[in-house]
Amino acid sequence: MVQLQEQPTQDQRIIQPDRTWEQFALIRQGFANSPGVQLSYYDGILEILMPGREHERVSAVIALLLSLFFIENEIEFEPTGSMDQEKTGEAFVQADQSYCFGGSHAIPDLSIEVVFTSGGINKLVHYPILGVPEVWFWENETLRLYHLRKDGYQPIRQSELPVLVKLDIELLTRCIILGQTSRLEAVKAFQQGVQSIGE
């Protein structure tokens, strides 16, 4: 009889410095059939992340609430999840969630990273090379938003992506926190808030 192992509660992380792009490519190939493992590479540093259950739950709640916002506002979107975002020889990242708006793109319009444990590398440094217009980080029950400008990413309070200018970040944050205990209550509260803004 096969015994199923429970997913760890906490993230598991391995950081390997001084890796060439060629070494990274081989390691990436080795993890090709390992769902749930996220890789990132920049400036010779490789990070292998195995998200824990709490990490995955928060990521799923964010995706659920954003999908609801897109539907309520009739926004056409493509959820690209943790798709590979790559500039060959320089940078590679797999976000927790990502989205394209107005059609499919090789690089998404929005990438979202869930930072659940300390000790990881600063993933924001990957993104200017990739050219992702906006990157959000969920950490310590707070959403931090960054928009790409000519001189790099600048912190912002409200999304500057045209399709997201009506998104209430404070409402979204409250409902992500609520969603860690009750997905149903989070969805109901978020939907009510989104509908009241549209009235």
What are the chain's domains?
Answer: 52-198 (3.90.1570)
Q: Running along the chain, 199 residues long, what does each successive block of 10 average in pLDDT?
A: 57 93 95 87 94 94 98 96 94 96 94 80 88 96 96 96 96 97 97 84
pLDDT score of 2: 44
pLDDT score of 8: 66
**pTM, full prediction:** 0.90
Q: What six digits make up the tokens of 148?
A: 């790409």
pLDDT score of 172: 98
Q: What six digits make up the tokens of 199?
A: 């009235």
Helix (H) or strand (E) run with residue 136 in it: strand 134-139
pLDDT score of 4: 43
Q: Where are the beta strands (DSSP E) in 3-64?
A: 12-16, 38-42, 45-50
Which residue(s) pair with 137 in the sheet?
113, 144
Q: What six digits make up the tokens of 10?
A: 């906490």
Q: What pairing do the DSSP bridges indicate for beta strands 45-50 and 38-42? A: antiparallel
Sign, Cα dihedral of 172, 113, 146, 103 = negative
Single-letter amino acid, residue 23:
Q
> 90 near 45, Cβ under 8 Å?
no
pLDDT score of 55: 93
